[in-house]
Amino acid sequence: MPVIKHPKIRDPLFHEWDRKAQKCGLRHTVYAVNGDQYNGEWQNNLKHGKGTQIWKNTGAIYSGDWKFGKRDGYGSYSVPDPVTKECRKMYTGWWQNDQRGGRGMYFYSNGEQYDGEWRKGLRSGWGKMRYKDGSVYEGQWLKDKPNGQGVLQLPNGNRYEGGWKEGKKHGPGKYFYPNKGQLLEGTWVADIPKCGALVDLERDNAAAPTEFPLPEIELHDPAAVLAEARAMFDDSKN
């Protein structure tokens, strides 16, 4: 019988090219079509592991952990200074799904600084914010605004301790005036004290006390006053 030879079946050539192009493991600098460049580890053709990305259009640099093509883990993000052109660190900390997530420190271009927790790229959780005017807020955050319990320390020494809502003083709180030796304790609504009591506090040790001490006020029905204050606070929430 004649021997019939069948041609060997081979994959198309572009399949072999594609396999060679698949990136896995440690690679030297790989350039994208738009000019971006990445140097680091890959898995299944995705950035995965340790690596550094440089964006051509902005000059921004991220160096840290990657997970299946997204920044995930610990890393730092830097941008070039518009004047000196030198790289200035903007954020260092944890990332989740290509956004700031977890504990991290953010350096703003105006000199302000936040050190605390993040969620989906926004300040959320517990954190400390240093403002350019010298004020310092430390406490709870939600969606980039003070929300919950926190303390605001002002440059002149005054401070507020109490509740916050959407970036404003809200709820029971205390406002200290160390320079005058006074304390305002009451209830705030949208940054405005609605009710409370102003009393002397360590007035004898104050740097600039008031000329006369505050008289002590005796309430005939303290429970009724407190109930009225709580009712005002409840109405403000509705």
Q: Which domain holds residue 63?
A: 16-107
Q: Do 160 and 87 belong to one domain?
A: no
Q: Do 101 and 161 belong to one domain?
A: no
- The phi and psi torsions of 63 (rounded to 5 degrees) equal -130, 120
What confidence category does residue 7 fall into, taking pLDDT thresholds of 50, 70 and 90? low
What confidence category does residue 89 fall into, taking pLDDT thresholds of 50, 70 and 90? very high
What residues does 66 pair with on adjacent strands?
49, 71
Q: Do 48 and 20 belong to one domain?
A: yes
Q: Do 134 and 227 belong to one domain?
A: yes
Cα 23 to chain center, whole Å?
Answer: 34
How far apart (Å, rounded) are the C-alpha atoms in residues 51 and 66? 7
Give the total number of structural domains in the chain.
2
- pLDDT at residue 202, as a whole number: 74
| Model confidence pTM above 0.85 | no
How far apart (Å, rounded) are the C-alpha atoms in residues 213 and 201? 10
Q: Do 150 and 223 belong to one domain?
A: yes
Residue type (1 letter), 96: Q
**At 208, is the secondary structure helix, strand, or coil?**
coil
What residues does 145 pair with on adjacent strands?
142
Where residue 62 sits, what CATH number does that domain have? 2.20.110
What pLDDT digit, counting tens, does each position of 91-105 carry? 999 999 999 999 999
- Tell me, yes or no, whether 24 lies in a domain: yes
- Tell me, yes or no, whether 178 lies in a domain: yes
pLDDT of 233 strictly over 90: no
Per-chain mean pLDDT for the chain: 86
What pLDDT digit, counting tens, does each position of 13-28 carry? 544 544 555 666 677 7
Q: What's the average model confidence in pLDDT over 172-194?
A: 92
Q: Do 181 and 96 belong to one domain?
A: no
- Tell me, yes or no, whether 166 lies in a domain: yes
What pLDDT digit, counting tens, does each position of 111-149 carry? 999 999 999 999 999 999 999 999 999 999 999 999 999
Q: Do 103 and 202 belong to one domain?
A: no
DSSP H helices in the chain = 13-21, 222-237
- pLDDT at residue 180, as a whole number: 83
Choose the weakest-confidence range: 12-26, 42-56, 183-197: 12-26
Closest by CA position to 91, among listed 120, 67, 61, 66: 61
- pLDDT at residue 32, as a whole number: 87
